[in-house]
Amino acid sequence: MDARSLRGVAHPLRMRILELLRLDGPDTATGLGRRLGENTGTVSWHLRHLAEHGFIEEETGRGTKRERWWRAVRVAHRLDTTEFRDDPDTRGALSLYVHEIVQQHFNRVVSYLTEDWAPEWRDAGTLSQWHDLRLTPTQLAALNEEMEQVVARHRAAAQSGADEGTPAPPEERPVVVQLQSFPRKERHER
């Protein structure tokens, strides 16, 4: 993600809109406005802004001239924060973006913990923490890569079944995987 894209998405409402489109699929400005408690005109403006920066696109062949459907673009956006930390023009956008992403992750965990789930789903989910690791930067990067490969393998298996037209099992649900791995300062370094 470059500086222009970062500034284009780094707005609380735009990030909430993008999250809904990524998680729940296409929607209209009216539908998103209702779900977010926002004015349709305001949502439309932010949708156009997200489209201008390549995060979403209009879903053609659906709706009318008055009712435009929007969907998230299926592209991975990688953000290397080191590129922006020393740039005063993007530092504020970076701070807002990171704050909103962390808030979205937190909200998903809280929702999972406070919603009613059948025992098999409640027992299948996890919030895990391993605090006894000591790694070098290279080892941490390798750990993250391995975890990403595991998720990619499961995603590919799920998508291949959908591509073949195999009906999804009735108990199948969307799943969010959040991985957070980062170094921490030891007591004597703080």
Amino acid found at 12:
P
Average pLDDT of the segment spanning 113-134:
91
What is the average pLDDT across 130-138? 93
Question: Helices in the chain by DSSP H: which ranges?
Answer: 3-9, 12-24, 29-36, 40-52, 88-114, 119-124, 137-163
- Can you name the residues that pair with 69 across neighbouring β-strands? 28
Is residue 38's pLDDT more than 90?
Answer: yes
pLDDT, residue 157, reads 87
Instruction: Answer whether 15's CB lies under 8 Å from 9's CB.
Output: yes
Distance CA 9, CA 89 (A): 15
Q: Domain ranges for the chain, please list them.
A: 1-115, 126-190
Per-residue pLDDT reduced to its tens digit, 65-117: 788 999 999 877 777 777 777 888 788 888 899 999 999 999 999 999 999 99
Widest CA span in the chain: 62
CATH 1.10.10.10 fits 1-115, yes or no: yes
pTM: 0.79
Instruction: Measure the CA–CA gap between 103 and 97, rounded to whole angstroms.
Output: 10
pLDDT of the residue at 168: 82
Q: Report the alpha-carbon distance of residue 32 to residue 47 in Å, rounded.
A: 10
